[in-house]
């Protein structure tokens, strides 16, 4: 019951409490591991005292096992709502954990983009610790906000979270902006190989009304593959990029807690090692104009905590709050 109550507190202000909730779950699960084992052992002993294995299997296969479970173990939903006065040390410790008290004990760090190198000849981007806002980006702009993590830093497997809002533009052919690009050069172009990139694009090959896309693309020498999702300009999307040795998935959510999955984009890939992380990048095509794009990316979380990398403390209440209108 206390666990659920703390969960409700976390959900009430998720941007502020997400890191604290992860720390709460880590502590809670560690402390309840032995209790869970004892609980399951006790349930099994109760069952064996009443039924043989063969009888229990027949109950499992019957049409109405619920009444037997209720008689045997009680109404667990109601029991779970009751407060306990148990004085066992572990229970006392669990009841004493409060989400608000975890401030400073856990940092689920975002990347600090102010420590990245900025190539932005035309002044399209405004860089803060946990947000890069951009306006009027065209494919010909020399633009890349990047960090050199070192050779082969991004290997066969990783998981990254990033949030994106395309708030203006993306309405004419060749409108493009890279959201997250992994490569072995600091300013990747469309011809870069290898390249793993998440980008927003106006794609005229789709029917009218379906041309504003969020795309996942891999070009690693072995494959050149793209998966696409119809996005709505003015909507914030919460992205999770999962890579393993054979596949890369982009999970697109509608909420910061990443509980409402809209779709999953998937591409096949070889086990390529990559060096540079670039966020907010153009196609870097000299002399090219194309359409323009405005918006923001937020809260890049590499799901790791390695000393020496450009981490920043979590910023509260950022997602979806800024909107860039016309250019």
* Predicted local distance difference test score (pLDDT) of residue 61: 63
pLDDT per position as a tens digit, 267-315: 987 657 899 999 999 887 766 666 889 999 999 999 875 445 565 543 3
Whether the per-residue pLDDT at 148 is higher than 90: the answer is yes
* Predicted local distance difference test score (pLDDT) of residue 317: 30
CA–centroid distance for 188 within its chain: 23
Q: How confident is the model at residue 156 (pLDDT cuts 50, 70, 90)?
A: confident
Structure tokens that stand for 227 in this block: 């998966």
CA dihedral sign, ordered 59, 62, 68, 72: positive
Q: Which domains does the chain have, with CATH numbers?
A: 2-102 (no CATH), 110-312 (2.60.120.200)
pLDDT per position as a tens digit, 112-143: 999 999 999 999 999 999 999 999 998 888 89
Q: Are the C-beta atoms of 169 and 151 separated by less than 8 Å?
A: no
Whether the per-residue pLDDT at 155 is higher than 90: the answer is no
- DSSP, collapsed to helix, strand or coil, labels residue 25 as helix
Whether the per-residue pLDDT at 249 is higher than 90: the answer is yes
Looking at every residue in the chain, the average pLDDT score rounds to 77
Rounded average pLDDT over 146-152: 92
Q: Among residues of the chain, what percentage have pLDDT more than 70?
A: 65
Task: Mention every residue, 6+ apart, whose C-beta is less than 8 A from residue 23.
Answer: 102, 105, 106
Q: How confident is the model at residue 99 (pLDDT cuts 50, 70, 90)?
A: low
Whether the per-residue pLDDT at 93 is higher than 60: the answer is yes
Whether the per-residue pLDDT at 167 is higher than 90: the answer is yes
């Amino acid at each position: 019951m206390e666990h659920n109550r703390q969960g409700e507190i976390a959900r009430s202000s998720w941007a502020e409490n997400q890191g604290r909730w992860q720390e709460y779950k880590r502590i809670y699960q560690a402390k309840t591991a032995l209790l869970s084992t004892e609980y399951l052992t006790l349930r099994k002993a109760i069952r064996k005292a009443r039924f043989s294995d063969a009888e229990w299997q027949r109950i499992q296969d019957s049409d109405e096992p619920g009444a037997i479970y209720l008689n045997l173990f009680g109404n667990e939903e109601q029991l779970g709502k009751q407060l306990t006065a148990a004085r066992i040390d572990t229970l006392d410790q669990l009841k004493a954990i409060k989400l608000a008290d975890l401030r400073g004990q856990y940092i689920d760090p975002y990347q600090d983009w102010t420590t990245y190198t900025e190539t932005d000849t035309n002044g399209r981007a405004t860089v803060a610790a946990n947000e890069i806002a951009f306006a009027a980006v065209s494919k010909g702009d020399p633009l890349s906000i990047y960090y050199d993590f070192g050779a082969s830093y991004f290997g066969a497997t990783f998981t990254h979270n990033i949030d994106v809002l395309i708030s203006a533009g993306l309405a004419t052919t060749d409108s493009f902006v890279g959201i997250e690009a992994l490569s072995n050069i600091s300013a990747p172009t469309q011809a870069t190989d290898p390249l793993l990139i998440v980008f927003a694009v106006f794609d005229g090959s789709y029917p009218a009304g379906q041309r504003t896309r969020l795309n996942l693309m891999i070009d690693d020498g072995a494959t050149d593959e793209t998966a696409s999702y119809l996005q709505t300009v003015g909507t914030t999307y919460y992205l999770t990029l999962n890579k393993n040795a054979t596949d890369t998935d982009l999970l697109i959510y509608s909420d910061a807690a990443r509980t409402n999955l809209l779709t999953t984009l998937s591409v096949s890939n070889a086990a390529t090692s990559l060096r540079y992380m670039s966020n907010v990048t153009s196609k870097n095509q000299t002399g090219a104009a194309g359409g323009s794009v405005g918006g923001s990316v937020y809260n890049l979380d590499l799901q790791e905590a390695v000393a020496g990398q450009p981490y920043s403390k979590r910023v509260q209440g950022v997602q979806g709050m800024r909107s860039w209108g016309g250019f």
